[in-house]
Chains A and B, each alone.
Chain A
Amino acid sequence: MRIAIKMAFKNLIGAGLRTWLNVSVLAFCFIIIVFYNGFLNGWQEQGRLDAKNWEYGNGQLFHADFDPYDVFTIKNSHGTLSEAESENLTPVLIQQATVYPNGRMNPTIIKGIPLDQDVINLPINLLTKSDANLPVLIGERMAQSINVGKGDNILLRWRDRNGTYDATNITIAEIFDSNVTTIYNGQIWMPIEILRQMTRLTNEATMYIANEQYQPSQVDGWEFHNLTELLKDFDSAVQAERIGSMIVYSILLALGLLAVFDTQVLSIFRRQREIGTYIALGMTRQQVMKIFTIEGGMYSVFAGVVGLIIGAPLFYYTSSQGINIGRSIEGMGVHLSDIIYPIYGATLIIGTFFVLVFSATLVSFIPARKISTLNPVNALKGKVQ
């Protein structure tokens, strides 16, 4: 085996440009696969962390009738927990409303949360600094979409618990920014006590956000959803992206492996005298096959090394500085930062390397099988078989 590796190495180095062309193609595949998977890993990690910090806390307790994906459920999904049941939970009351910025009608969701909450990063406490009669907090992108700025007054219309309309001016006291689209898209945040007074839903909440000390227990009329459940859709979106990107990798890898396959076919055709000499010197056909197979596999080893040499600075730079993807794809309903910091774990790099070595070895073995049928005398003579 050692001799086979030594000979394969020498043969590859001796082949010069042909070797390095194959290695370049495979190294390119290696870098792309590692880079894009690292990007997805970074996106998923950041997305999960942002969602936890900005929206989900350590899980959420929903009113049994509340479905966050069904706006029709909002109206009647509210209830009250006892003091003991609501320990380590932060209430959020959700109601539907309409805002009229500059005479335009915009359906919106109003959410109330305690001013002193610290379970999520929402800067609701900033409203305490406002002198406005009814200060509210909105997201930066919500502000852009309805074309309002800090200090603007807009008319809000809503219904109380009995369905009676009410309307008043609210003041955009603060505008915040976040990577989590689901906490600002079409939403207005205000102190929960004010929203309860406005809607006459005293002490009621649509859901509660759990802190780290919360121990889930059975509460009648309420359903607890842990982080894994809440992040299921996001994880599925990332997984779907991974599957989609695998198609691209496969095409790219197939092109690289095709180059290795072609090289192997040509080698076996052109190096028949060499093969005959190996057999004449006492090597079995299997041993010769092994040399050629290892040669093919060694392309991928070289590609891994070259890929790491070229890719390491790129991986290091992108993981430390991040990749600025801007806000071009905001509003897609997934948590996405402006800057993604890819995560290149050892598992990813080593795993990709082994996939490359395995597939290159496999495509080298297929043409090398022909050696087992070669007539050594004819091979020595260099006759085409």
Chain B
Amino acid sequence: MSYVPDELKYTSSHEWVQKTDQGTFRVGITEHAQEQLGDIVFVELPEVESSYAEGDEAGVVESVKTASDIYAPMAGTVVAVNEALEDKPELINESPYDDGWIFELQAEDEAEFEGLLNADDYRALIAEE
């Protein structure tokens, strides 16, 4: 079973979401997702200041094998992106929950965070796959 940190929230499309000390929401893909993709070679980051509804395509992660969309887990505006991924997309393989974060959102409605999957829900989800 892939590592699923207890303190994060999750989506059924395999993003993780973390509330930062600044009150923004940091987004990446889970260890399970990066394992499924294999060696990641390119990340198309969203643009800072772009806005998304919940479930909108906000970026793309491409491995040698395939391309996978990244969805906005909550409605909001992008306030930061992880530019290190432009030169080192493999950070997502090496450190999916830390150095491999993808973007940060200023949420429109912070209550949406509570509606995301918790770690146990997400573990159950990937166990079924």
The answer to whether A and B interact is no
Interface residues of B (CB under 8 A from A): none
Interface residues of A (CB under 8 A from B): none
